[in-house]
């Protein structure tokens, strides 16, 4: 069992702040702060170009990939970090489609995050081979699978409701029908137990700035099943996915293994920060994170419903059907979230009316939950949200 009071001390959290938004942007790990200083001064500053070799900058994408692999049930050498999640979705889908060249249908779901669907639309349009994408309701995905489907592309945990897909069952069913699977783990990695190897997932992608606390805009990761990687022809064939980038050959030859999913120069500063942010996970076992996060989310639902019956639970009531977040719907949800933020409780809002709260046991405890519910109660009962300042939409919600 992990001692989460110890992990909490490894983060910088402003005084009196209750942070229930680690599902959007994790807080600052103290190790990341000192690592950034050190890399700026001693690596970039002192070493300059020599840093690529002296400080092993080039190895950071694979090293951080291996550290993430442990958290998502993937073997070493099957995960690599770089670029943004949108790009990793594109790469994974392009590779998956090429492995199923005679089929023209992609299935996702209506709860998927817009960028995943936008990237898919753009890719299918570019390929111009008669591809179609369908987005049934999440509960209808299994029934939409057939032997006409090339790729099943899903986000495991719904960003709005927290509803969890059964990765193992859906991947199994997909494989029976000859379908390749792409799983987005944006709200799974560091939040719930994921076992890509046991589920026999083909491709997976995810963020590192949410539950993995890699910092704003931290690079994304991609997993390719080891038995597939050497048949993947990279669609984004950048020089760092080349077998020998520094031979500067005219012809592209894909590198062996997961390195072929690199594209261009790795974001060294961001990777160094991520590497330090991953330190806290070294002694963590995901089953204790999951059970603690379930306890916290159950407590939050109980405490909120007891005080605020006007809110409607927008997440599955069964903790086993949810990721690590709880959402409530309320007509004036945006204003309530702004009032909460003004009162030092940070959650977030997703249009049209969803208030979203994420639970990261590494730095959130029971006391935070009860205190957050108390402050929410006051905001609702005293209608403190009914303030023109709280109705003005910011650019980022
Ligand atoms: C957060 C999130 C993204 C964000 O993609 P970026 O390229 O990092 O901006 C994409 N997909 C899902 C499912 C997400 O939750």
Predicted confidence (pLDDT) per residue in 347-383, tens digit: 999 999 999 999 999 999 999 999 999 999 999 999 9
User: Is ligand 1 within 6 A of the CB of residue 152?
Assistant: no
Q: What's the pLDDT tens digit per position in 60-83?
A: 999 999 999 999 999 999 999 999
**Residue 291 Cβ < 6 Å to ligand 1:** no
Residues 6 or more apart in contact with residue 160 via CB below 8 angstroms: 111, 314, 327, 350, 354, 356
Active-site entry in 109, 356, 357, 363 = 356
Q: Given the residues 4, 11, 159, 209, select the one marked as catalytic.
A: 209
pLDDT at 345: 98
Cα(66)–Cα(281) distance, integer angstroms: 12
Q: How far is the CA of 119 from the centre of ligand 1 (A)?
A: 11
Give me 214's structure tokens. Answer: 């890699």
Is the Cβ–Cβ distance between 30 and 362 less than 8 Å?
A: no
- Does 209 qualify as catalytic in the annotation? yes
Q: Let me know: does 138 contact 109? Beta carbons within 8 Å.
A: yes
Separation of alpha carbons 157 and 347, rounded Å: 17
CA 185 – ligand 1 centroid, Å: 9
Q: Which two tokens stand for residue 159?
A: 């960003």
For the CA of 88, the closest atom of ligand 1 is 7
CA distance 378 to 110: 35
Q: Has residue 212 got a pLDDT over 90?
A: yes
What are 339-349's pLDDT values in tens digits?
999 999 999 99
Question: 184, 275, 348, 368: which is the annotated catalytic residue?
Answer: 184
Q: Is 210 annotated in the active site?
A: yes
Length reported for the chain: 397
Cβ atoms of 324 and 192 closer than 8 Å:
yes
Q: 185: Cβ below 6 Å to ligand 1?
A: no
**Angle between the 268-277 and 30-38 helix axes, to the nearest 10 degrees?**
150
Three-state secondary structure along the chain?
A: CCCHHHHHCCEECCCCCEECCCCCCCCEEHHHHHHHHHHHHHHHHHHHHHHHHHCCHHHHHHHHHHHHHHHCCCCCCCEEECCCHHHHHHHHHHHHHHCCCCCCEEECCCCCCHHHHHHHHHHHHHHCCCCEEECCCHHHHHHHCCCCEEEEEEECECCCCCEECCHHHHHHHHHHCCCEEEEECCCCCCCCCCCHHHHCCCEEEECCCCCCCCCCCCCCEEEECHHHHCCCCCCCCCHHHECCHHHCCCCCCECCHHHHHCCCCCCHHHHHHHHHHHHHHCCCCHHHHHHHHHHHHHHHHHHHHHHCCCCEECCCCCHHHECCEEEEECCCHHHHHHHHHHCCEECEEECCCEEEEECCCCCCCHHHHHHHHHHHHHHHHCCCCCCHHHHCCCCCC
Residue 396 CA to ligand 1 centre (angstroms): 14
Q: Which two tokens stand for residue 126?
A: 């570019």
- 274-333, pLDDT tens digit by residue? 999 999 999 999 999 999 999 999 999 999 999 999 999 999 999 999 999 999 999 999
Indicate if the alpha-carbon torsion angle 136, 138, 144, 147 is positive or negative: positive
Pocket mutation for ligand 1, best pick of 21, 23, 116 (most atoms within 8 Å of C-beta): 116
pLDDT for 335 beyond 90: yes
Residue nearest atom 14 in ligand 1 by C-alpha distance: 186
Q: Is 159 a catalytic residue?
A: no
Q: Which of 19, 113, 203, 334 is catalytic?
A: 113
CA of 98 to the centre of ligand 1 (A): 23
Measured from the CA of 24, which atom of ligand 1 is nearest? 1
d(CA 287, CA 373): 26
In the reported structure, the alpha carbon of residue 222 is separated from the centroid of ligand 1 by a whole-number distance in angstroms of: 13
Question: Residue 1: pLDDT above 70?
Answer: no
Q: Record the tokens describing residue 319, joined without a space.
A: 């903790």
Q: Is 85 in the pocket of ligand 1 (CB under 6 A)?
A: yes
Q: Is the CB of 116 under 6 A from ligand 1?
A: yes
What mean pLDDT comes out for the span 216-237? Answer: 98
If you average pLDDT over every residue of the chain, what do you get?
A: 97
- Please give the structure tokens belonging to residue 15: 């005084």
Token output for 323: 């990721």
Identify whether 6 is a catalytic site residue: no
Q: Sorting pLDDT into bands at 50, 70 and 90, what band is 248?
A: very high
| Ligand 1: residue whose CA is nearest its atom 8 | 85
The verdict on the CB of residue 186 being under 6 Å from ligand 1 is: yes
69, 224 contact by CB (below 8 A): no
| pTM, rounded to two decimals | 0.97
Check pocket membership of 184 for ligand 1, CB cut-off 6 A: yes
CA distance linking residue 273 with residue 213, whole number of Å: 9
Q: Is the CB of 119 under 6 A from ligand 1?
A: no
**Whether the CB of 106 sits within 6 Å of ligand 1:** no
- pLDDT of amino acid 394: 85
Cα–Cα distance measured from residue 205 to residue 146, given in angstroms and rounded to the nearest whole number = 24
Could you tell me the pLDDT band of residue 395, with boundaries at 50, 70 and 90?
confident
Give residue for tokens 């709860």: 111
Query: Does the beta carbon of 115 lie inside 6 Å of ligand 1?
Result: yes
What is the position in ligand 1's atom list of the atom closest to the CA of 116?
Answer: 11
CB distance 182 to ligand 1 below 6 Å: no
Question: In the annotation, is 306 catalytic?
Answer: no
- Residue 393: is its pLDDT beyond 90? no
> Beta strand pairing status for 325-329 and 354-358?
antiparallel
Q: Which atom of ligand 1 is nearest to the CA of 220?
A: 8
For the chain, percent of residues with pLDDT exceeding 70: 100
């Amino acid at each position: 069992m992990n001692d989460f009071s110890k992990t909490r001390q490894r983060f910088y959290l402003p005084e009196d702040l209750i942070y229930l938004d680690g599902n959007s942007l994790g807080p600052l790990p103290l190790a990341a702060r000192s690592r950034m200083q050190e890399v700026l001064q001693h690596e970039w500053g002192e070493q300059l170009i020599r840093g690529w070799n002296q400080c092993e900058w080039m190895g950071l994408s694979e090293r951080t990939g291996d550290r993430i692999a442990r958290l998502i049930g993937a073997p070493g050498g099957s995960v690599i970090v770089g670029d943004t999640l949108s790009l990793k979705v594109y790469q994974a889908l392009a590779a998956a489609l090429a492995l199923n060249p005679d089929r023209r249908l992609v299935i996702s779901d209506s709860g998927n995050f817009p960028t995943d669907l936008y990237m898919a639309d753009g890719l299918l349009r570019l390929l111009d081979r008669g591809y179609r994408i369908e987005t049934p309701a999440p509960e209808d995905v299994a029934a939409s699978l057939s032997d006409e489907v090339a790729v099943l592309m899903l986000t495991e945990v719904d960003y709005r409701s927290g509803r969890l897909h059964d990765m193992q069952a859906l991947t199994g069913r997909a494989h029976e029908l000859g379908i390749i699977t792409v799983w987005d783990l944006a709200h799974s990695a560091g939040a719930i137990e994921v076992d890509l190897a046991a589920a026999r997932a083909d491709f997976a992608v995810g963020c590192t700035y949410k539950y993995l606390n890699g910092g704003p805009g931290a690079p994304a990761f991609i997993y390719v099943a080891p038995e597939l990687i050497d048949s993947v022809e990279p669609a984004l064939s950048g020089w760092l996915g080349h077998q020998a980038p520094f031979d500067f050959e005219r012809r592209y030859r894909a590198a062996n293994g997961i390195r072929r999913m690199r594209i261009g120069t790795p974001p060294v500063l961001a990777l160094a920060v991520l590497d330090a942010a991953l330190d806290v996970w070294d002694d963590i076992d995901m089953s204790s994170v999951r059970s603690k996060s379930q306890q916290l989310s159950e407590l939050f639902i109980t405490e909120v419903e007891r005080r605020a019956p006007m809110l409607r639970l927008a997440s599955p009531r069964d903790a086993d059907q949810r990721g690590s977040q709880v959402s409530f719907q309320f007509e004036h949800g945006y204003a309530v979230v702004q009032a909460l933020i003004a009162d030092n409780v940070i959650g977030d809002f997703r249009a049209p009316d969803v208030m979203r709260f994420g639970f990261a046991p590494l730095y959130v405890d029971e006391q935070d939950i009860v205190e957050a519910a108390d402050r929410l109660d006051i905001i609702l009962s005293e209608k403190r949200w009914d303030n023109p300042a709280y109705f003005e939409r910011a650019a980022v919600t």
